[in-house]
């Protein structure tokens, strides 16, 4: 009899174990559904964030949401003074003729060129003190100091050149964003300071 009791008790235990395992499977399925719902929600949030950042990027590129949008000339001047950049582009800006212009093919879907410009710094300031280029193009600046050491900085683009008198310094960079960038001296300036503008016209 003792053996019979053990066998029955053993079957009861096995049945209870199977029910417990089945209950765990249902619990795991629920957790799986919650996990999938969480992933779908996270993907939705990422997609919305990307689309909103794309719209903000378009605004930064100087593409106003509607005609007449954008800073006034006075606001643009203050923004340029404070940050070194403004999305404002003067309507009458005429592209500076580069010393050399080369067509560049880095992407067959984009028409780009490299324009070479020569900037001289002296006690009078920068010559020329304004460069007007087209958005998306590559700019190559050859910078030379005359009569002493001077420098050229475009803070909003991270551009900095300096060198002793008569020695050419070079840099190249792409201008992906339309707007007006402040050019200034940072370390080696003429007595009255030195300022200029890099104006990037929309393509």
Domain at 103, CATH number: 2.60.40.420
Asked if the structure places residue 68 within a domain, the reply is no
139 plus 172 within the same structural domain: yes
50 plus 88 within the same structural domain: no
93 plus 185 within the same structural domain: yes
Q: In whole angstroms, give the CA distance from residue 5 to residue 2.
A: 5
| Domain extent for 165 | 73-201
Q: Looking at 37, 60, 83, which one is the last position of a domain?
A: 60
Nearest Cα to Cα of residue 137 among 92, 170, 162, 107: 107
Q: In whole angstroms, give the CA distance from residue 74 to residue 80.
A: 10
Which tops the pLDDT comparison, 1 or 71? 71
Average pLDDT along the chain: 77
10 plus 86 within the same structural domain: no
Asked if the structure places residue 41 within a domain, the reply is yes
Q: Say what the pLDDT of residue 85 is.
A: 84
Domain count, the chain: 2
pTM greater than 0.85 (yes/no): no
107: helix, coil or strand?
A: coil
* Max CA separation in the chain (angstroms): 116
pLDDT, average across residues 29-52: 74
Q: Which pair of structure tokens corresponds to residue 7?
A: 């066998």
Q: Say what the pLDDT of residue 76 is.
A: 80
7 plus 91 within the same structural domain: no
117 plus 50 within the same structural domain: no
144 plus 174 within the same structural domain: yes
Nearest Cα to Cα of residue 198 among 101, 119, 121: 119
Assign 140 a pLDDT band (cuts: 50, 70, 90): very high
162 plus 113 within the same structural domain: yes
Whether residue 67 has pLDDT greater than 60: no
């Amino acid at each position: 009899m003792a053996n019979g009791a053990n066998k029955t008790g053993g079957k009861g235990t096995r049945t209870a174990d199977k029910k417990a395992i089945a209950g765990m499977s249902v619990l795991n399925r629920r957790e799986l559904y919650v996990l999938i719902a969480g992933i779908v929600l996270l993907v939705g949030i990422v997609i919305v964030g990307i689309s909103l950042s794309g719209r903000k990027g378009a605004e930064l590129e100087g593409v106003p949401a509607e005609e007449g949008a954008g800073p006034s000339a006075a606001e643009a001047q203050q923004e340029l003074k404070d940050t070194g950049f403004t999305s404002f582009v003067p309507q009458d800006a005429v592209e500076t003729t580069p010393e050399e212009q080369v067509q560049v093919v880095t992407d067959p879907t984009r028409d780009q060129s490299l324009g070479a410009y020569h900037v001289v710094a002296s006690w009078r300031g920068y010559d020329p003190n304004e460069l007007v280029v087209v958005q998306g193009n590559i700019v190559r600046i050859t910078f030379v100091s005359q009569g002493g050491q001077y420098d050229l900085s475009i803070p909003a683009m991270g551009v900095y050149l300096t060198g002793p008198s008569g020695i050419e310094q070079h840099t190249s960079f792409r201008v992906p964003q339309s707007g007006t960038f402040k050019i200034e001296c940072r370390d080696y300036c003429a007595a009255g300071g030195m300022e200029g503008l890099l104006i990037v016209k929309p393509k």
